[in-house]
Protein backbone atom coordinates (compact mmCIF):
# COMPACT_ATOMS: atom_id res chain seq x y z
CA UNK A 1 0.00 0.00 0.00
CA UNK A 2 1.21 3.49 -0.88
CA UNK A 3 0.67 6.40 1.51
CA UNK A 4 0.84 9.95 0.16
CA UNK A 5 1.47 12.87 2.51
CA UNK A 6 3.22 16.22 2.54
CA UNK A 7 7.00 15.96 2.63
CA UNK A 8 8.79 17.25 5.71
CA UNK A 9 12.29 18.67 6.11
CA UNK A 10 13.77 15.35 7.31
CA UNK A 11 12.64 13.89 3.93
CA UNK A 12 14.58 16.43 1.86
CA UNK A 13 17.80 14.50 1.31
CA UNK A 14 16.01 11.27 0.38
CA UNK A 15 13.81 13.11 -2.13
CA UNK A 16 16.80 14.95 -3.61
CA UNK A 17 18.52 11.57 -3.98
CA UNK A 18 15.50 10.23 -5.90
CA UNK A 19 15.59 13.23 -8.22
CA UNK A 20 19.33 12.92 -8.84
CA UNK A 21 19.05 9.18 -9.47
CA UNK A 22 16.77 9.95 -12.42
CA UNK A 23 19.29 12.18 -14.21
CA UNK A 24 20.09 10.58 -17.54
CA UNK A 25 16.78 8.70 -17.81
CA UNK A 26 15.14 8.74 -21.24
CA UNK A 27 13.60 12.17 -21.78
CA UNK A 28 14.66 13.53 -18.36
CA UNK A 29 15.61 17.22 -18.52
CA UNK A 30 17.18 17.28 -15.07
CA UNK A 31 20.88 17.71 -14.38
CA UNK A 32 23.20 18.34 -11.43
CA UNK A 33 21.92 21.93 -11.19
CA UNK A 34 18.22 21.09 -11.12
CA UNK A 35 16.48 20.03 -9.01
CA UNK A 36 18.89 20.48 -6.13
CA UNK A 37 18.46 19.85 -2.43
CA UNK A 38 17.68 23.58 -2.13
CA UNK A 39 14.71 23.22 -4.51
CA UNK A 40 13.44 20.33 -2.39
CA UNK A 41 13.83 22.33 0.83
CA UNK A 42 12.09 25.35 -0.72
CA UNK A 43 9.19 23.18 -1.89
CA UNK A 44 8.87 21.75 1.62
CA UNK A 45 9.03 25.25 3.15
CA UNK A 46 6.13 26.26 0.87
CA UNK A 47 4.19 23.20 2.11
CA UNK A 48 3.92 22.14 -1.54
CA UNK A 49 5.92 18.92 -1.82
CA UNK A 50 4.24 15.54 -1.58
CA UNK A 51 5.83 12.14 -1.04
CA UNK A 52 4.64 8.64 -1.78
CA UNK A 53 5.80 6.09 0.80
CA UNK A 54 5.76 2.30 0.63
CA UNK A 55 7.04 0.09 3.44
CA UNK A 56 8.59 3.12 5.14
CA UNK A 57 10.59 4.16 2.06
CA UNK A 58 9.93 7.27 -0.05
CA UNK A 59 9.35 5.98 -3.57
CA UNK A 60 8.16 9.15 -5.32
CA UNK A 61 7.71 12.89 -4.87
CA UNK A 62 6.02 15.77 -6.66
CA UNK A 63 5.34 19.48 -6.28
CA UNK A 64 1.84 20.97 -6.28
CA UNK A 65 1.69 24.69 -5.66
CA UNK A 66 1.57 28.18 -7.04
CA UNK A 67 2.71 28.70 -10.61
CA UNK A 68 4.16 32.18 -10.86
CA UNK A 69 5.76 31.43 -14.25
CA UNK A 70 2.38 30.59 -15.81
CA UNK A 71 1.71 34.30 -16.31
CA UNK A 72 4.50 34.59 -18.88
CA UNK A 73 4.44 31.16 -20.49
CA UNK A 74 2.39 31.76 -23.63
CA UNK A 75 0.65 28.37 -23.72
CA UNK A 76 -0.85 29.08 -20.27
CA UNK A 77 -1.87 32.68 -20.98
CA UNK A 78 -5.55 31.98 -21.66
CA UNK A 79 -8.30 30.28 -19.77
CA UNK A 80 -7.11 30.33 -16.17
CA UNK A 81 -7.36 33.00 -13.50
CA UNK A 82 -5.42 31.11 -10.82
CA UNK A 83 -3.29 28.30 -12.22
CA UNK A 84 -1.40 25.93 -9.99
CA UNK A 85 1.59 23.87 -11.04
CA UNK A 86 2.56 20.23 -10.95
CA UNK A 87 6.31 19.75 -11.27
CA UNK A 88 9.32 17.81 -10.12
CA UNK A 89 7.46 14.51 -10.40
CA UNK A 90 9.97 11.77 -9.71
CA UNK A 91 9.47 8.04 -9.15
CA UNK A 92 12.29 5.73 -8.10
CA UNK A 93 13.39 3.70 -11.11
CA UNK A 94 12.51 0.38 -9.50
CA UNK A 95 8.89 1.56 -9.03
CA UNK A 96 8.40 3.03 -12.49
CA UNK A 97 5.73 1.36 -14.59
CA UNK A 98 3.86 0.12 -11.50
CA UNK A 99 1.26 2.91 -11.33
CA UNK A 100 3.01 4.95 -8.64
CA UNK A 101 3.20 8.08 -10.79
CA UNK A 102 -0.48 7.81 -11.70
CA UNK A 103 -1.45 7.31 -8.06
CA UNK A 104 0.60 10.35 -7.03
CA UNK A 105 -0.77 12.60 -9.81
CA UNK A 106 -4.36 11.55 -9.05
CA UNK A 107 -3.76 12.39 -5.39
CA UNK A 108 -2.40 15.82 -6.38
CA UNK A 109 -5.50 16.40 -8.51
CA UNK A 110 -7.72 15.55 -5.53
CA UNK A 111 -5.80 18.05 -3.40
CA UNK A 112 -5.95 20.71 -6.12
CA UNK A 113 -9.74 20.35 -6.26
CA UNK A 114 -9.81 21.65 -2.66
CA UNK A 115 -7.55 24.60 -3.50
CA UNK A 116 -8.28 28.02 -4.99
CA UNK A 117 -6.75 26.90 -8.32
CA UNK A 118 -9.04 26.77 -11.34
CA UNK A 119 -6.55 24.67 -13.27
CA UNK A 120 -3.11 23.13 -13.21
CA UNK A 121 -0.28 23.41 -15.67
CA UNK A 122 2.96 21.59 -16.17
CA UNK A 123 5.91 21.49 -18.52
CA UNK A 124 7.15 18.16 -19.83
CA UNK A 125 10.37 17.66 -21.74
CA UNK A 126 9.54 17.21 -25.42
CA UNK A 127 11.24 13.81 -25.48
CA UNK A 128 9.89 12.49 -22.17
CA UNK A 129 7.33 10.22 -23.78
CA UNK A 130 6.59 8.12 -20.71
CA UNK A 131 5.79 11.25 -18.68
CA UNK A 132 3.55 12.54 -21.48
CA UNK A 133 1.60 9.27 -21.45
CA UNK A 134 1.25 9.52 -17.66
CA UNK A 135 -0.07 13.09 -17.73
CA UNK A 136 -2.51 12.27 -20.53
CA UNK A 137 -3.78 9.19 -18.63
CA UNK A 138 -4.45 11.50 -15.69
CA UNK A 139 -6.54 13.89 -17.81
CA UNK A 140 -4.03 16.59 -18.69
CA UNK A 141 -4.38 18.00 -22.18
CA UNK A 142 -1.56 19.20 -24.39
CA UNK A 143 -2.03 22.96 -24.70
CA UNK A 144 1.06 24.12 -26.54
CA UNK A 145 4.83 24.18 -26.61
CA UNK A 146 7.43 26.47 -25.14
CA UNK A 147 11.18 26.96 -25.14
CA UNK A 148 12.55 27.92 -21.71
CA UNK A 149 15.76 27.24 -19.81
CA UNK A 150 17.38 26.10 -23.06
CA UNK A 151 14.84 23.27 -23.29
CA UNK A 152 11.92 22.43 -25.59
CA UNK A 153 8.80 21.77 -23.50
CA UNK A 154 5.35 20.40 -24.14
CA UNK A 155 2.78 22.34 -22.10
CA UNK A 156 -0.01 20.44 -20.39
CA UNK A 157 -2.99 21.77 -18.48
CA UNK A 158 -6.14 20.57 -16.82
CA UNK A 159 -9.22 22.50 -15.71
CA UNK A 160 -10.43 21.85 -12.19
Q: Where are the domains of the chain?
A: 3-159
Predicted TM-score (pTM) of the model is: 0.95
CB 57 within 8 A of CB 7: no
Supply the pLDDT for residue 74.
85
Q: Which helix (H) or strand (E) holds 121?
A: strand 119-125
Give the β-pairing of 83-91 and 119-125.
parallel
Q: What is the pLDDT of residue 4?
A: 98
Burial status of residue 123 (CB atoms within 10 A of its CB: 0-12, 13-18, 19 or more): buried
Integer Cα distance of 123 and 113 in angstroms = 20
The CATH class that applies to domain 3-159 reads: alpha beta
What pLDDT score was predicted for residue 78? 73
Contacts of 142 (CB under 8 A, 6+ apart): 132, 136, 154, 155, 156
Quote the pLDDT of residue 119: 95
pLDDT in tens, the chain (160 residues): 999 999 999 999 999 999 999 999 999 999 999 999 999 999 999 999 999 999 999 999 999 999 988 877 888 877 788 999 999 999 999 999 999 999 999 999 999 999 999 999 999 999 999 999 999 999 999 999 999 888 999 999 999 9
pLDDT score of 149: 86
What local confidence, expressed as pLDDT, does residue 79 receive? 76
Determine the Cα–Cα distance for residues 30 and 38; give it in Å rounded to an integer.
14
What pLDDT sits at residue 70?
80
Q: Pick left, alpha or beta for residue 76 (phi over 0 → left; psi -120 to 50 → alpha; otherwise beta).
A: alpha
Q: Residue 114's pLDDT is what?
A: 96
Sheet holding 83-91, edge to edge: 3-6, 49-54, 57-66, 83-91, 119-125, 151-159, 141-148
For position 40, what pLDDT does the model report? Answer: 98
pLDDT of residue 69: 82
Amino acid sequence: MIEITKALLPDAEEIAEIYHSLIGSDGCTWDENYPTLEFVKNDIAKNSLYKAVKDGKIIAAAYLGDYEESKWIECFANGFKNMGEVSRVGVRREFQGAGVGKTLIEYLLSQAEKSPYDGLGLLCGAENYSAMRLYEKCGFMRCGESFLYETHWICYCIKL
